[in-house]
Structure 1
């Protein structure tokens, strides 16, 4: 685990935290039951197996 060597000021801590941004989920085009839909890659297997409803995407 990383150990801090010097005390970091409150301003620097908050500035570092504010720079973090989440990425948008990459969508993949998949044909399911004759329809082409764009869904997240992690749900492709479940959608093809019928475990996830595709209408919500």
Structure 2
């Protein structure tokens, strides 16, 4: 049997507990190499560059 609350949590305490349950807006930066939007401190998914160096190979889109 698990632990159960002894008393009902009041509305104000319930609200204070949930005060941090919100979503933050994404902070995006522009890639210096290709100009795409990306998350800071991450490799660009479009071109594979990070801090001016190519870190990963990306697939090139081919026209049919």
TM score, norm. by length of structure 2:
0.44
Instruction: Give 1 or 2: higher strand fraction.
Output: 1
Q: Which has the higher contact order (CA 8 A, sep 6+)?
A: 1
Instruction: Give 1 or 2: higher helix fraction.
Output: 1
Larger-Rg structure? 2
TM score, norm. by length of structure 1:
0.47
